A and B are shown apart, each in its own frame.
Chain A
Amino acid sequence: MRPLLLRSGRVVDPSQGLDEISDLLIREGKVAGIGRGLGVPDDAEVVDASGWVVSPGLIDLHVHLREPGQEDVETIASGARAAAAGGFTAVCAMPNTDPVTDNQAAVGFIVKQAQAAGAARVYPIGAISLGQRGVQLAEFGELVSAGAVAVSDDGRPVASSHLMRMALSYAQTFGIPVADHCEDPTLSGGVMHEGLVSTRLGLRGIPSAAEEIMVARDLLLAELTRGHIHLCHMSTKGSVDLIRRAKDKGIKVTAEVTPHHLILTDEACLGYNTHAKMNPPLRTAADVEALREALKDGTVDVIATDHAPHHYDAKEREFDDAPFGVIGLETALALGITQLVRPGILTLAELIDRMSCAPAKVFNLPGGTLRPGTVADVTVFDPEARWKVDPERFYSKSRNTPFAGWEVFGKVVMTIVGGRVVFRSGAD
């Protein structure tokens, strides 16, 4: 592998408090140096990065890659390529595949497929319970030894408080977080946020309390067990209020929020738009406001996409019958720049922290920093480049995004994984 010198880019690395015009040298898969006028090794490829941002590689803690089971809507390879095109150097794949990632062999399969794809890194998340049936714990030790970085029954909320307690306790043996999709199954059954808009549309609602009850339960169990609870895709003001109090008490909790919950409200469902159907559902403007505030002050640690591919036929249905979920890997960075950084809600450094440094810390992953000697997972993007979201151009096999046609800023130029360029714009 030739050394790579990114010359005169704006190097933004919140892990070192760095935001300056600098060169970045990558050699033998590692960050070899940051500074002005770095010497150029003879055989190095030199890229003029002036006008571009050079940041630690983005990490997405929450994606659904559908393989095994639904390879027609996404595969590990297509998902890893979509991730790279979106500037992600690593993604964490949820276990709700068919079959479920609840054993060593299934975890190993994901690792092997990801290696073959050679795009973004793919870290498997193992199931909490066998078959995600919510009854018996999966063998966390074996999952971890095969490569799992966390456990979750995402997509199938853990109904039993006893099981969640056991998971939070037992997971500490291996130092992994337990990630929960918070939803009280007896209060769900709706198809969108319960409120004025659901009343107007005559659609069954999912109240905010369905999420908040489980957030409160999980926080209490984390306190009881001293385990690490990671709360997936938070969507309500009440949830972030609970998390803020728990963090003040020293409870070991981390939380994520999706780009769509930071940008859209339940009004996106008007006209029965199935691309606005997701679970948790889009909530109200007050919730969006609270989520943005929580992301800013660190109550919510990370942005994760909850990338959930579906076949176009599946969304081309009555709202009641369409599946939940939208894809997000190829729009997350640009939406963050356009909707959060440009209006002054987050600084660029804060956005990079929430999409790179913080996720690395939360799941204890390599990367999330450009410190010399660390693995060279790097994202290079042009923050001013303007483009229009066109799902037909996505690397993902699916097209289900509510952001089609949006004008956004921020285009990924290069995605570098372990010193190797896995995506280069215009190179396809």
Chain B
Amino acid sequence: MSERSLGKDLLGLESLTAEQITLILDTAEPFKEVSERPIKKVPTLRGKTIVNLFFEASTRTRISFEFAEKRLSADTVNVAALGSSVQKGETLVDTARNLEAMRIDMVVIRHPSSGAAQFLAERIRSNVVNAGDGTHEHPTQALLDLLTLRDKFGRIAGLKVCICGDVLHSRVARSNIWGLLKLGAEVAVCGPPSLMPLGIEELGVTVFRRIEDAIQWADVLNVLRLQLERMHAGFIPSLREYYRVFGVTVERLERAPKDLVILHPGPMNRGVEIDSRVADGPHSVILHQVTNGVAVRMAVLYLLAGGRPELAEAAKGKGEVAE
């Protein structure tokens, strides 16, 4: 696969090279500006049809993709699992064949099963973008995290990033680990051992047992959402204890040797994994992440559609486009 292209699909960051990841981040730069215009639309993907296939509830990611598509002038259709043929028992392979028959250009898929995006990609000719598959990967989330860090620090290489919380069930964690390692960051994870996957060290990350130690070490904390279900399934005793032992609080950050940057993929559980004063405080770049999400997704869609990276600046055009 050429370094200057992504291939047919974006399924995860594990299979991408550092050059490909950098290509996406570089391509996202010119698209950031589109969202700052009074009329936020460029003609780049005019005539392309994109289906957003969401088998799992999502607000932020779905809306972010939809804005990215609309700002590139693509025609989009949203399909949610509820109320669709999926709920009537249609298999993923049949859904795929039906989409193919309607000659769509791209599919953005969010699915509760790991591997679902790859499964779809292997069975249709359209481009497939993974918007989160089970506990496998969520590549565009990691890309927007990387873009945000690059904005903040001017580089990724050499940064010390600790991913905190429920790594076991987190697709955001896996994509971030691959992306950060490939771009030369040092990566650590911190959370209850009951929420750490086996063999995580073998991926090349450091494991911290105590959040205090992670804070001493890190430049950046990427704080994962802790889902309420984990308590009922016996992974942790209570959310209260989780906050007391692993919560990212102002008091803990005050003891850090330097100012840390705080990322969170959202939606946040204030007072569980993160102190509201941290989320709303000066260290937080959480809303910057959301803004970058649209630009990164525009870049991914543009590149998969065959857009040439060197033309991204020109592709966004000088001004608004007449419909």
Residues on A lying within 8 angstroms of B by beta carbon are 194-196, 198-205, 207, 271-272, 313, 316-321
In the complex with contacts A318-B113, A320-B114, A202-B137 CB distance below 8 A: yes
The listed residue (B91, B113, B115, B197) touching A199 by CB distance below 8 A is B197
Q: List 17 A-B contacts (CB under 8 A).
A: A195-B198, A195-B199, A198-B197, A199-B199, A199-B200, A200-B203, A201-B114, A201-B115, A202-B136, A203-B115, A205-B197, A272-B118, A313-B91, A316-B93, A317-B91, A319-B119, A321-B113
Is the CB–CB distance between B198 and A202 below 8 Å? no
Q: Which residue of B lies closest to A199 (CB)?
A: B197
| Bound form: Cα–Cα A195–B200 in Å | 9
Is the CB–CB distance between B200 and A272 below 8 Å? no
**Which A residues lie within 8 Å of B316 (CB)?**
none
Please count the residue pairs between chain A and chain B whose beta carbons lie under 8 angstroms apart in the complex: 66
The listed residue (B92, B200, B202) touching A318 by CB distance below 8 A is B92
In the complex with contacts A202-B134, A202-B171, A202-B174, A319-B113 CB distance below 8 A: yes
What 12 additional pairs, Cβ within 8 angstroms, besides A195-B199, A196-B199, A318-B119? Answer: A199-B198, A202-B133, A202-B135, A202-B136, A202-B174, A203-B136, A205-B197, A272-B115, A318-B92, A318-B111, A319-B113, A320-B115
| Bound form: Cα–Cα A320–B111 in Å | 11
**Which B residues lie within 8 Å of A196 (CB)?**
198-199, 202-203
Is the CB–CB distance between A203 and B114 below 8 Å? yes
**Which A residues lie within 8 Å of B136 (CB)?**
201-203
Q: Which residue of B lies closest to A189 (CB)?
A: B233
Shortest A182–chain B CB gap in Å is 20
In the complex with contacts A199-B203, A202-B133, A317-B92 CB distance below 8 A: yes
In the complex with contacts A201-B136, A316-B93, A318-B119, A272-B114 CB distance below 8 A: yes
**Which B residues lie within 8 Å of A319 (CB)?**
113-115, 119
| Bound form: Cα–Cα A207–B199 in Å | 12
| Bound form: Cα–Cα A201–B174 in Å | 9
Q: Which residue of A lies closest to B92 (CB)?
A: A318
For window 126-182 of B, CB contacts with A under 8 Å fall at 133-137, 171, 174
Most buried by A among B135, B137, B171: B135
Shortest A45–chain B CB gap in Å is 50
Residues on B lying within 8 angstroms of A by beta carbon are 14, 91-93, 111-116, 118-119, 133-137, 171, 174, 197-200, 202-203
Is the CB–CB distance between B118 and A198 below 8 Å? no
**Which A residues lie within 8 Å of B203 (CB)?**
196, 199-200
Q: Which residue of A lies closest to B93 (CB)?
A: A316
Shortest A285–chain B CB gap in Å is 14
Q: Which residue of B lies closest to A202 (CB)?
A: B136
Most buried by A among B111, B114, B119, B171: B114
Q: Which residue of A lies closest to B234 (CB)?
A: A186
**Which A residues lie within 8 Å of B133 (CB)?**
202
| Bound form: Cα–Cα A198–B203 in Å | 12
**Which A residues lie within 8 Å of B112 (CB)?**
320
| Bound form: Cα–Cα A317–B137 in Å | 19
| Bound form: Cα–Cα A101–B134 in Å | 37
| Bound form: Cα–Cα A200–B199 in Å | 9
| Bound form: Cα–Cα A194–B199 in Å | 9
**Which B residues lie within 8 Å of A313 (CB)?**
91
Shortest A190–chain B CB gap in Å is 11
Shortest B56–chain A CB gap in Å is 12
| Bound form: Cα–Cα A14–B147 in Å | 67
Give me the 6 closest cross-chain CB pairs, A-B, nearest first: A202-B136, A272-B115, A196-B199, A318-B113, A202-B135, A202-B114
| Bound form: Cα–Cα A74–B137 in Å | 37
**Which A residues lie within 8 Å of B119 (CB)?**
272, 317-319
Shortest A346–chain B CB gap in Å is 31
Most buried by B among A201, A203, A316: A201
| Bound form: Cα–Cα A125–B135 in Å | 39
The listed residue (A194, A195, A199, A318) touching B116 by CB distance below 8 A is A318
| Bound form: Cα–Cα A393–B72 in Å | 51
Q: Which residue of A lies closest to B116 (CB)?
A: A318
**Which A residues lie within 8 Å of B202 (CB)?**
196
Is the CB–CB distance between A318 and B198 below 8 Å? no
| Bound form: Cα–Cα A196–B197 in Å | 8
**Which A residues lie within 8 Å of B198 (CB)?**
194-196, 198-199, 205, 207
| Bound form: Cα–Cα A199–B197 in Å | 6
**Which A residues lie within 8 Å of B174 (CB)?**
200, 202
The listed residue (A195, A205, A320) touching B134 by CB distance below 8 A is A320
| Bound form: Cα–Cα A403–B134 in Å | 28
**Which A residues lie within 8 Å of B93 (CB)?**
316-317
Q: Which residue of B lies closest to A200 (CB)?
A: B14
Q: Which residue of B lies closest to A196 (CB)?
A: B199
Q: Which residue of A lies closest to B137 (CB)?
A: A202
**Which B residues lie within 8 Å of A198 (CB)?**
197-198
| Bound form: Cα–Cα A202–B135 in Å | 5
Q: Which residue of A lies closest to B55 (CB)?
A: A318
Q: Which residue of A lies closest to B197 (CB)?
A: A199
**Which B residues lie within 8 Å of A202 (CB)?**
114-115, 133-137, 171, 174
| Bound form: Cα–Cα A194–B135 in Å | 14
Shortest B152–chain A CB gap in Å is 28
| Bound form: Cα–Cα A201–B136 in Å | 5
**Which A residues lie within 8 Å of B116 (CB)?**
318
Most buried by A among B93, B133, B198: B198
**Which B residues lie within 8 Å of A194 (CB)?**
198
Most buried by B among A195, A202, A313: A202
Q: Which residue of A lies closest to B122 (CB)?
A: A271
**Which A residues lie within 8 Å of B14 (CB)?**
200
| Bound form: Cα–Cα A318–B171 in Å | 17
Shortest B174–chain A CB gap in Å is 6
**Which A residues lie within 8 Å of B111 (CB)?**
318
